[in-house]
A and B are shown apart, each in its own frame.
Chain A
Amino acid sequence: MNFKNWTYLQRRIINWMAKIVLFLFTFLALLPLIMILFYVLRQGGNVLSWSFLTTLPGPTGSTGGMANSIVGSLVMVALASIVGIPLGIVSGVYLSEYGVGKTANILRFSLDLLTCVPSIIVGIFVYGIVVIRYGFSAYAGAFSLALIMLPIVARSSEEIFKLMPGHIREAGLALGLSRWRVILQILLPGCRKAVLTAIMLAVARIFGETAPLLFTALGNQFYARSLSQPTASMSVQIFNWARSGFADLEQQAWAGSFVLVTLILFMNLATRFLGRVRS
């Protein structure tokens, strides 16, 4: 038989072209990310300095920074995580391990709804039930972030626990472990890395939220003296700078954006790294 005929050549050419097309489309998908990073860096790069990270924001004409909003963001994300992560994991475990019946279905449905609620609505909701009574505060900001985080953590941990094969649970039960011991001593350690990845993704997600914080933490030109005061956050600070109308402040907004994007990018990279390391 003749293996080197025309059709074979044709097939190779088509194959090769398909590869190029696929590569082009992949590049096209990556392009926005590259452009964002590039553009943001070009616009704000020349104000980016160590002092930008360590000083408070100032009025137009002065060299201000975003130290207070970095701290504020970290504090509020940490607070939200303290509440949102355990609650999310517990709900996820509940849904995966006991999730049959009406209660579970209602919970699952509510979590799905909560995921779909636009973050600005979460902000307004927290404004309505917390801020009106107690004023703008880091607590209120953290609360709104926790609400956004909770369904993400819950549903992803549910999926992670469901991935654990049933016979592993049965092996635990057959050994005389009670259900909660199986969850705590066997499933949780087994899922540790995947759960950690899910948590990191959720944290990265709330780091960049602006809308809920506008209505809850408000923002602050200085360091907040306590958690019950209006608190600056990176995204709100960027928002404020951007709409100030002053060219130099707008440039600071670009620099702030670059810091925020870089932080989130590193968080994602760290997650990937954690997910890859296996004893």
Chain B
Amino acid sequence: MGVEEAQKNPVLRTDELQAYFGPFHAVKGVSVSIFPNQVIAVIGPSGCGKSTFIRCLNRLHEETPGAKVKGQVWLEGKDIYGKGVDPVLIRRRVGMVFQKPNPFPALSIFDNVAIGPKLMGLRRRALLEEKVEQSLKQAALWNEVKDKLNKLGTSLSGGQQQRLCIARALAINPPVILMDEPTSALDPISTARIEELVQELKNRVTVIMVTHNMQQASRISDKTGFFLLGSMIEYGDTVQVFTKPRDSRTEQYITGRFG
């Protein structure tokens, strides 16, 4: 971990983060610092707590009935689990993209992207249009939809819908975007486009991406975190993790010799 990182402040830092579903201990004390302008891949077997982990980073985990979070998460230096912090406002600082493309039904392409900026108080039509165009361009979707912004978001193809969701998340200018297996429902071509896009995006935001596809993790991420049974077993440079993992469990998992 280079000098470069030492000079920057982490955009996101967790300290002994614990998450529960009722009595089930899903995330067991994860401490990690995430630096700006990087793509972080979170890998691990199903049910290892990796999705729960990223859902703690925008306080979405607590929306699940019975869910509980302990520990601290600092977003740009502020503890998002601090006293009196409104989770709704925190979520406006963190973007999220889900496994299934989920543009809001009955909303047009334009409105899907505009809903976030509107929420943040952007009202003037001209400014909104500018913001929507900018976000769609950043999500590499503008050229495909510029002539049909009033069509339903759900009328697009799966890959386009997912890029629309990325545009929707980008429109609130978040420093961090969380992605929960964003390509697992997409065909290989759409997947490649999203991967390409994610690498473009890191100039602007930090992307934390859960993925089941280890090749995807190795292709596009700068750092990789490996989760197992709720703990982050290993976190390091992706090249290091995929050529000489420090932990034998990581090695077993990424080489497909698990269990």
Contact = CB atoms under 8 A, between A and B. Distances in A.
Nearest to A181: B119
A99 to B, nearest CB: 11
Q: What bracket does the count of chain B residues touching chain A fall in?
A: 20 to 34
Interface stretch (B40-48, B93-101, B209-217): B93-101
Interface in B93-111: 93-96, 98-100, 102, 104-107
Contact of A190 (B95, B106, B116): B106
Interface residues of A, number: 21
B100 A165 contact: yes
Interface string A149-179: 0000000000000001101101111111110
Contact of A165 (B88, B91, B102, B165): B102
B186 interface: no
Contact of B165 (A100, A171, A173, A189): A171
B102 to A, nearest CB: 5
Contacts of A177: 88, 115, 119
Contacts of B98: 167, 170-171
B11 interface: no
Nearest to A190: B105
Contacts of B100: 165, 167
Contact of B96 (A171, A189, A192): A171
A170 B100 CA distance: 12
Interface string B69-93: 0000000000000000000111111
B65 A170 contact: no
A185 interface: yes
A192 B104 CA distance: 13
A175 B106 contact: no
Given A176-B89, A176-B91, A189-B107, A171 B102 contact: yes
B88 A100 contact: no
Nearest to A100: B65
Contacts of A10: none
Contacts of B102: 165, 167-168, 171
A26 interface: no
B91 A168 contact: no
A192 B119 contact: no
Which residue, B89, B115, B172, has most C-beta atoms of chain A within 10 A?
B115
Contacts of B88: 176-178
Contact of B168 (A165, A167, A175): A175
B63 A175 contact: no
A174 B152 contact: no
Given A100-B65, A167-B98, A170-B63, A175 B107 contact: no
Given A176-B116, A176-B119, A189-B107, A170 B92 contact: no
A7 interface: no
B229 interface: no
B252 to A, nearest CB: 31
A174 B99 contact: no
B121 to A, nearest CB: 12
B37 to A, nearest CB: 22
Nearest to A278: B152
Nearest to B150: A279
B60 interface: yes
A186 interface: yes
Contacts of A279: 152, 155
Interface string A12-36: 0000000000000000000000000
A63 B95 CA distance: 71
Contacts of A172: 104
A175 B60 contact: no
A279 B172 CA distance: 28
B169 interface: yes
A186 B91 contact: no
Contacts of B168: 171, 175
Interface in A74-109: 100
Given A100-B65, A167-B99, A279-B152, A175 B105 contact: no
Contact of A189 (B60, B93, B106, B155): B106
Give me the 10 closest cross-chain CB pairs, A-B, nearest first. Answer: A176-B92, A190-B105, A174-B96, A189-B106, A176-B91, A190-B106, A186-B104, A167-B98, A171-B102, A167-B102
17 contacts: A168-B102, A170-B96, A171-B96, A171-B98, A173-B60, A173-B63, A174-B91, A174-B94, A174-B95, A174-B96, A174-B169, A175-B91, A175-B92, A175-B115, A176-B88, A176-B120, A181-B119
Interface of B: 58, 60, 63, 65, 88-96, 98-100, 102, 104-107, 115-116, 119-120, 152, 155, 165, 168-169, 172, 178
